[in-house]
Amino acid sequence: MKLDKYIKTACLLLPFCVVSCDTNKGNDKDAEMNKFVSDLMSKMTLEEKIGQSTLISSWWDVTGPVSNNDYAHKAKDGHVGGFFNALTCDFLYRLQKEVVENSRLGIPLMFGYDVIHGYKTTFPTPLAMSSSWDMEMVELAARSMAEEAAADGLHWAFAPMVDIARDPRWGRVAEGAGEDTFLGSEIARAQVRGIQGENFADTATLIACVKHFAAYGAPVGGRDYNSVDMSERQLREFYLPPYKAAVDEGCQTVMCAFNDINGVPATTNKWLMTDVLRDEWGFDGMIVTDYTGIFELTNHKTVRDSADAGAQAIRAGVDMDMQSAIFMNYSKENYEKGLISMEDIDRACRNVLNMKYKLGLFEDPYRYCDTMRAKRVLKHPKFFKASHEVAKRSIVLLKNDNEVLPISKNTKTIALIGPMATNKRNHLGTWHTAGREETVTPIYEAFLKEFPDSRIIVEDGCWYEGDDRSKFAKAVAAVRQADVVVMCMGEQEFESGEAASKTDIRLAKIQRDLIDEVAKVNKPMVLLLHNGRPMVLTDEEKKFDAILEVWHLGSMAGPAIADVVSGDHNPSGKLTMSFPRSVGQIPVYYNYLNTGRPENVNVRFTSRYLDSPNSPLYPFGYGLSYTSFSYSNIELDKDSMTKDGVIKATVKVTNTGKRDGDEVVQMYIGDQVASVSRPLKELKGFKKVNIPAGKTVDVTFEITDELLKFYNADMVRDSEPGDFDLYIGGSSQTGNKTVFTLK
């Protein structure tokens, strides 16, 4: 069929299409989509069907190993379903046109990209954003990046990444929401809502892709791409819920993880993709591999060759092959040899075509490509405003002795020391993709505005790494003249993220040495810590009066940091991943299981280290404010409930300081006795509340049976009657506790 014919078909279908694309929720119009796709598939050749299952990287961005193949001609023949890493409205329009006008059926392409924490405007890295515990902010960031990316012609974001991670050696912790399943699930939902919006066909939204299914965040030794060895109980209890939350929220696509789980690569894991995802959870969207995931099966050595890899992957449930071109090259042969069925090929093709239908691409293949809109929307001030808001709320105050922070605007001289003081690029963080350093306001520039009456002396002192100490002396001289010193230290953007595992997660030696030299001058010292992952700060922590965890905050890093340093914004972030005291403690996380010999530092034969406490330096849920909060005892409206009942638990939280502030009130529950060993406590609710200075607010949580369920001894998810410890406070270490009973 030539384009004119195709357009005719599309136009005939237009009235149905518009209605069918009208909402993301509800299945009333599925029948129309199914009919459209079935009609289309009845006209497709085997090669064309296989082509829809092929996703190829373009050259605009490099997010994995590069190959020299040029697939443009394959696309023109209708043998490619989509491209990723292809950018700009103009280019995507031309690419789409080539395919729509030249291929036999004119089936439009789908364009994906790693829209992870921003597009042109960069937001804080996801781990940073999670520290806001602010679902409105997380959703705003996701909505903004989707709107900006969609305005540049993209359809599909490879986000959210919801991999639970307890090992900060793994660089990709920067891309997720930290160590907790409950919080991770809430954030997954907010991200999906933000990216997809209410209507898939809305050209200001993208289709989301939850990844990396599954348990990619638990590689052995924290080494990226490594194996995952995990019991089904661990997997179901702690690692799977955030993916499920995303699916329940309507996430349309799922990306397989690179790793194997207990020996079976996720890319060929039928149990995961078909039994759990499709049959148990009812997922009816599309499954895509990760970058060359099928090709890499030959390295896993679970397949004989590429053909076998392709056959195993599609049979297990993969719909779209990212970058391996193995479906493209071997599916026909596999089918002819009877290794895969027409049902496999049809299912995969249909699931891809469904996405295109939902995006409204059959109605108008160019609907996302509007260059005038791109001009209006890209880098719109509203995104910078949103990024600034999110960035402020992502900052975590880790230490503040003698109220060194905030720094008064009357301060005479501030020394701004360290490689991050003037740097722009590293604020962009790991997946800045289309983001560029010219969008970033650096710290120095922001301080000049924030402290107009102060003298700001800026000195790098050193680079992030290496051993050039030639600038130490100048830095120390600047510090001597200052009333307070702010050190801007940490990791570069590429030191966390994909393929960025580390065995040493301290600050680089050169930075530690500079800190030592500066500390000798004996001035009040503030550390601004820039990083993608929790770091080991045990030695440095003692040298600073105050520490602000400022992550990689994106385009508006400088102004957000300046707001917090000056006190214009009172910090309220709380950690979502524990900061270990040493690498030897890893994995360290708050919701560990009870053991038979709990830690007792006075008893040798207990579960502990001889040379370190078990506790982290900074625990999950921890973060200070410029004000202080006190918590009343927990009041229950009743102290027992049946499975269909509800208990209301209330605390009075008082702002006991002199500034208004936000507090993240956290509720944890621990099962006193269960048929299997359970975590000491688990986060089961949180609320972020604003409390004016001197005021008290009531914060109430509802406890339902759903919050008490777990995989019991028979691997059935259920609750068990008995007593539960209930904690409500300002961190995972709160001692504010009561007990209730499930009858």
Spatial contact of 216 and 256, defined as CB atoms under 8 Å apart? no
Structure tokens at 599: 């830690």
Among the listed residues 63, 226, 650, 654, the single contact to ligand NOJ using CB under 6 A: 63
Q: Which of 102, 141, 97, 136 is nearest to 121 (CA)?
A: 141
* Residue ranges in 66-85 that form contacts with ligand NOJ under rule CB under 6 A: none
For tokens 């605007």, the residue is 409
Write down the least CB distance from residue 428 to ligand NOJ, Å: 16
Task: Provide the Cα torsion 42, 46, 48, 50; round to 10°.
Answer: 120
Write down the least CB distance from residue 638 to ligand NOJ, Å: 47
Among the listed residues 290, 308, 363, 540, the single contact to ligand NOJ using CB under 6 A: 290
Query: Read out DSSP for 596-660?
Result: SS---TT-SSSSS-SSS-SS-SB-TT--B-SS-EEEPPPEES-SEE-TT-EEEEEEEEEE-SSS-
Report the residue closest to ligand NOJ, judged by CB: 63
| 3-state secondary structure at position 481 | helix
Q: Which of 198, 156, 194, 200 is nearest to 358 (CA)?
A: 200
Spatial contact of 540 and 516, defined as CB atoms under 8 Å apart? no
Among the listed residues 79, 117, 166, 211, the single contact to ligand NOJ using CB under 6 A: 211
- β 635-636/646-655 pair status: antiparallel
Q: 146 vs 151, 195, 359, CA distance in Å?
A: 8, 5, 14
Q: How many residues are recorded in the chain?
A: 743
Write down the least CB distance from residue 114 to ligand NOJ, Å: 5
Write down the least CB distance from residue 118 to ligand NOJ, Å: 15
Q: 487 vs 94, 476, 479, 511, 534, CA distance in Å?
A: 48, 12, 10, 10, 18
For residues 378 and 145, what is the distance between their CA atoms, to the nearest angstrom?
Answer: 10
- The mark string for 146-175 relative to ligand NOJ (x by CB under 6 A, - otherwise) is ------------x-----------------
Write down the least CB distance from residue 111 to ligand NOJ, Å: 13
Spatial contact of 569 and 660, defined as CB atoms under 8 Å apart? no
- Indicate the burial class of 364 (C-beta count within 10 angstroms; 0-12, 13-18, 19 or more): middle
Write down the least CB distance from residue 159 to ligand NOJ, Å: 8
290 is catalytic: yes
For tokens 């237009």, the residue is 14
- The helix (run of H) or strand (run of E) holding residue 471 is none
Q: Which is nearer to ligand NOJ, 152 or 663 (CB)?
A: 152
Write down the least CB distance from residue 255 to ligand NOJ, Å: 6
Q: Which of 566, 571, 529, 626 is nearest to 411 (CA)?
A: 566
Q: CB count, 10 Å around CB of 715?
A: 10
The catalytically annotated residue of 290, 319, 545, 662 is 290
Write down the least CB distance from residue 267 to ligand NOJ, Å: 12
Spatial contact of 578 and 419, defined as CB atoms under 8 Å apart? no
Q: CB count, 10 Å around CB of 2?
A: 13
Q: Which is nearer to ligand NOJ, 259 or 578 (CB)?
A: 259
* Residue ranges in 292-351 that form contacts with ligand NOJ under rule CB under 6 A: none
Structure tokens at 401: 């002795």
For residues 129 and 382, what is the distance between their CA atoms, to the nearest angstrom?
Answer: 18
Determine, following the binding rule CB under 6 A, whether residue 590 of this chain makes contact with ligand NOJ. no
Determine, following the binding rule CB under 6 A, whether residue 139 of this chain makes contact with ligand NOJ. no
Q: CB count, 10 Å around CB of 468?
A: 10
Q: Which is nearer to ligand NOJ, 64 or 250 (CB)?
A: 64
| 3-state secondary structure at position 562 | helix
* Residue ranges in 390-449 that form contacts with ligand NOJ under rule CB under 6 A: none
Write down the least CB distance from residue 119 to ligand NOJ, Å: 14
Among the listed residues 139, 186, 491, 498, the single contact to ligand NOJ using CB under 6 A: 498
| 3-state secondary structure at position 162 | coil
HEC assignment per residue over 401-461: HHHCCCCCCCCCEEEEECCCCCCCHHHHCCCCCCCCHHHCCCHHHHHHHHCCCCEEEEECC
Residue 443 identity (one-letter amino acid): I
Spatial contact of 54 and 326, defined as CB atoms under 8 Å apart? no
Q: Which is nearer to ligand NOJ, 450 or 498 (CB)?
A: 498
For residues 627 and 370, what is the distance between their CA atoms, to the nearest angstrom?
Answer: 48
For residues 156 and 203, what is the distance between their CA atoms, to the nearest angstrom?
Answer: 11
Determine, following the binding rule CB under 6 A, whether residue 114 of this chain makes contact with ligand NOJ. yes
Write down the least CB distance from residue 84 to ligand NOJ, Å: 6
Determine, following the binding rule CB under 6 A, whether residue 587 of this chain makes contact with ligand NOJ. no
Residue 669 identity (one-letter amino acid): I
Determine, following the binding rule CB under 6 A, whether residue 64 of this chain makes contact with ligand NOJ. yes
For residues 491 and 125, what is the distance between their CA atoms, to the nearest angstrom?
Answer: 13
Beta strands in 101-155 (DSSP E): 110-113
Q: Which is nearer to ligand NOJ, 187 or 653 (CB)?
A: 187
Write down the least CB distance from residue 290 to ligand NOJ, Å: 5
Write down the least CB distance from residue 312 to ligand NOJ, Å: 20
Q: Which residues bind ligand NOJ (CB under 6 A)?
A: 63-64, 114, 158, 211, 290-291, 498
Residues with catalytic annotation? 290
